[in-house]
Amino acid sequence: MRALTPRAYLPGLALLLVVAIPLVTADAVLLNILILIFLFATLGGAWNILGGYGGQLSLGHATYFGLGAYGSTLLLVDFGISPWLGALAGAAAAMALSLVLGLSCFRLRGPYFAIATIGVAEIMRLVVIDLPDVTQGARGVTLPFVGQSWALLQFRGKTEYYYLALGLMLATVAATVLVARSALGYRLRAIGQSEDAAGALGHDPAWTKQMANFVSAFFTAIAGTFYAQYFYYIEPNTVFGISLSIQIALVAIIGGVGTVWGPVLGAFILQSVAQLTQVFLGSSRFGGLQLLVYGVLLVAVILVQPRGVIGLARRVYGAACGRLPRWSRG
């Protein structure tokens, strides 16, 4: 006897809904909001792999984002290389940097690792600004729009971007699941309990964390390429900025660090805040209010529910499932 419970059919319905939205509406503003949610869910999810599961709290993840964005964009603008390839190049650069960072800094205690990541991101930002012959410096790089093209990853409408962003987010979620439930995830949890004991089991804790670091850097850089291809303009203070690094971490922490769906929830919450503030205040002050609420949310989460909102969300979800209809055969 099989029962079609809400817990079984709700996720399917949700996926169907999300996939169907662009087919039902061409509303540019709504699609843009969802694309941003998917983008930040990807970024938060990638951060979460290193921070939530790997236990290394980075405040400099924008470095990988910027490397992805600048890597693919400069290759495109200077050499005409397709962003699909450029994305891989950017991701490779990000992973290489993550190796350097891991080798030198993983043994640092929490706050000092965080400070080191800030230092790395700031250096990248400043170097990009101060090498204008290579990177166009503080002027930023504009991507030329040549028309609808899958090869060049450029589209007139939002639909293609929507599905790409959705796909990227789902890939990050899948990667998180893989990391969490694999031997790698088991080893990471062991390290979380006691790094020495984990080492005694025969696996090198540093290398285990580095694997998580690679995955994290990879997805963050790919998101950077997407950003460049969607916004058509990148500049160092945004893509390498400490503000972005903090927002990336916020998505995971507010949503639920160390969980699979936490970052997705976090991205949804933060974008909702962003839209609410835009509705109620003009652009000139909304940036301040939006970020202020982010800060308040972060402090509130840390004090009340450090594991993130996902726990409460699960309870609400569970309660909702209890009230929705279910069918059984037989």
| Subset of 94-153 contacting another protein (CB under 8 A) | 104-105, 107-112, 114-116, 118-120, 122-123, 126-127, 129-130, 132, 137-140, 142, 144-145
CA 99/CA 136 separation, integer angstroms: 27
Is 14 a binding residue for another protein by CB under 8 A? The answer is no
Closer Cβ to another protein, 11 or 322, answer by number: 322
Is 65 a binding residue for another protein by CB under 8 A? The answer is no
Cβ atoms of 301 and 309 closer than 8 Å: yes
From residue 66 to residue 95, the character string flagging contacts with another protein as x (rule: CB under 8 A) and all else as - is ------------------------------
Q: How far is the CB of 133 from another protein (least distance, A)?
A: 11
Is 305 a binding residue for another protein by CB under 8 A? The answer is yes
Q: How distant, in Å, are the alpha carbons of 115, 152, 159, 160, 234 from that of 81?
A: 35, 8, 24, 20, 17
Q: How far is the CB of 305 from another protein (least distance, A)?
A: 7
CA 88/CA 223 separation, integer angstroms: 11
Binding footprint of another protein, residue count (CB under 8 A): 93
User: Of all helices (H) and strands (E), which one includes residue 4?
Assistant: strand 3-4
Closer Cβ to another protein, 182 or 272, answer by number: 272
User: Measured in whole angstroms, how far is the alpha carbon of residue 45 from the centre of its chain?
Assistant: 5
Cβ atoms of 220 and 45 closer than 8 Å: no
Among 97, 212, 217, 309, binds another protein (CB under 8 A): 309
The one segment of 67-75, 80-88, 177-185, 307-315 that binds another protein by CB under 8 A: 307-315
From residue 147 to residue 186, the character string flagging contacts with another protein as x (rule: CB under 8 A) and all else as - is ---------x------------------------------
Closer Cβ to another protein, 122 or 160, answer by number: 122
Is 319 a binding residue for another protein by CB under 8 A? The answer is yes
Closer Cβ to another protein, 88 or 314, answer by number: 314
Is 275 a binding residue for another protein by CB under 8 A? The answer is yes
Q: How far is the CB of 306 from another protein (least distance, A)?
A: 5
Asked whether the CA dihedral 155, 161, 164, 165 is positive or negative, the reply is positive
Q: How far is the CB of 185 from another protein (least distance, A)?
A: 18
Burial profile 101-117: b = 16 or more Cβ within 10 angstroms, e = fewer? bbeebbeeeeeebbebb
The one segment of 64-72, 74-82, 170-178, 300-308 that binds another protein by CB under 8 A: 300-308
Helix (H, G, I), strand (E, B) or coil at 154: strand
CA 49/CA 219 separation, integer angstroms: 10
What residues between 220 and 249 interact with another protein by CB under 8 A?
A: 231-233, 235, 238, 242, 246, 249
Q: At what angle do helices 110-130 and 62-79 cross, to 10 degrees?
A: 20
Closer Cβ to another protein, 85 or 134, answer by number: 134
The one segment of 42-50, 73-81, 215-223, 278-286 that binds another protein by CB under 8 A: 278-286
Is 193 a binding residue for another protein by CB under 8 A? The answer is no
Q: At what angle do helices 28-48 and 262-280 cross, to 10 degrees?
A: 140
CA 169/CA 172 separation, integer angstroms: 5
Q: How many CB atoms lie within 10 A of CB 60?
A: 27
| DSSP letter string, 37-89 | HHHHHHHHHHHHIIIIIS----S-THHHHHHHHHHHHHHHHHH---HHHHHHH
Among 12, 323, 329, 330, binds another protein (CB under 8 A): 323
Residue that is written with structure tokens 């402090």 in the block: 299
User: Measured in whole angstroms, how far is the alpha carbon of residue 200 from the centre of its chain?
Assistant: 33
